[in-house]
Amino acid sequence: MANQQGQASDGSAAIQVDRVEQEFVDRSGRVVRALEETSFSVPRGQFLAVIGPSGCGKTTVLNMLAGLLRPTMGSVRIHGESVVRPRRDVGYVSARDGLLPWRATRRNVALGLELRGMPRAERLRRADELLSIVGLTGFEVAYRSQLSQGMRQRAAIARTLAIDPQVLLMDEPFAALDAQTKIILQQQFAKIWENDRKTVMLVTHDIEEAVLLADRVIVFSARPGRILVDQNVDLPRPRDIESLRFEPRFRDLTHELWNALRSSIARLS
């Protein structure tokens, strides 16, 4: 059953967003409210997906949690601590892989560990382990230009997982992929998540992706963004991404979320 507001903040939660608002000044000098008073929390180990129209503040919230943006009002916390700068226990995966073209895949994956001072042999061994997990064994010494788009995104995910973040923020990580590659990576990531159950907040425009991967889906309204629906995803785990699409409950959930999103989009026209 869908709730109409985000779950209340909880001191034991991994993520807490408390009465957050965000305003920007556009090029004409006009103040634009991107995010209306918004509160929700994410328990440790939960996979949360956030969907909503473009410009509704989804990525804005991610950037606050990543320590890249301060809210105009309200507060954001990770593990009970206010976020004022990037944290070592938070990883960020975006739609752009961000691989350095002059570094081979193994050294790209090991970059965060290198910056943290891990010995070379240890960090390269860890990089190889993660490349195996994401299906890139054999491409350790390949450069970005030699990898397909799907391979680049796998390497980007491995690079983020290498630092062993307790909270993983993901901004449209599969959006630029073709349909077949997207399904493969979704299934791979679902298996990776099942093994360690990190706290994940995924921003996506893909309702099906949200339902397939997440424990819970929040729907944001059109700008100024606010929570319209907070829906638990009561599908069993582990999940087979391909077969789950044919389950009646999956279709029901995607239909409910689409109706909520459609009503918000209709207000824009």
Answer whether 122's CB lies under 8 Å from 130's CB: no
Q: How far apart are CA 142 and CA 161, in angstroms?
A: 19
pLDDT bucket at 8, cuts 50 / 70 / 90: very low
Note the Cα 4 to chain centre separation in Å.
22
Q: Please determine, for residue 2, whether its predicted confidence score (pLDDT) is greater than 80.
A: no
Domain spans, the chain: 2-89+165-266, 99-163
Q: For the chain, what is the largest distance between any 2 Cα atoms, rounded to a whole number of angstroms?
A: 57
Q: What is the identity of the amino acid at 228?
A: L
The DSSP output letter for 83 is -
Query: Strands (DSSP E) along 96-245, which ranges?
Result: 167-171, 199-203, 216-220, 227-232
pLDDT, tens digit (0-9, with 9 covering 90-100), for 192-214: 999 989 999 999 999 999 999 99
Average pLDDT over residues 59-71: 95
Instruction: Tell me the two tokens of residue 86.
Output: 């990037």
* pLDDT at 85 exceeding the cut of 60: yes
Q: Cβ neighbours of residue 20 under 8 Å, at least 6 residues apart?
A: 35, 37, 38, 39, 61, 64, 71, 73, 74, 75, 76
| Angle at the Cα of 205 from the Cα atoms of 8 and 81, rounded to 5 degrees | 35
Q: Which pLDDT score, from 0 to 100, does residue 1 have?
A: 44
Average pLDDT over the chain, rounded to an integer: 91
Element (H, E) at 79: none
Note the pLDDT of residue 166: 95
Q: Is 141 helix (H, G, I), strand (E, B) or coil?
A: coil
CB of 15 closer than 8 Å to CB of 201: yes
Residue 37: C-alpha distances to residues 5, 18, 205, 224 (Å): 11, 8, 22, 9
Residue 44 neighbours by CB distance under 10 Å: 15
Beta-bridge partners for 206: none
Tokens in use for 61? Answer: 């919230």
| 149-162 and 120-133 helices, crossing angle to 10° | 130
154-186 confidence digits (pLDDT tens): 999 999 999 999 999 999 999 888 888 888 889
Lowest mean pLDDT among 23-27, 84-88, 160-164: 23-27
Backbone angles phi, psi at 216, to 5 degrees: -160, 145
- pLDDT at residue 146 above 50? yes
* pTM of the complete model: 0.91
Tell me: pLDDT of 11 over 70: no
Is CATH 3.40.50.2300 the classification given to domain 2-89+165-266? Answer: no
Backbone φ and ψ for 227, nearest 5 degrees, come out as -80, 120
What's the DSSP call for residue 8? P
pLDDT band with cut points at 50, 70 and 90 for residue 269: low
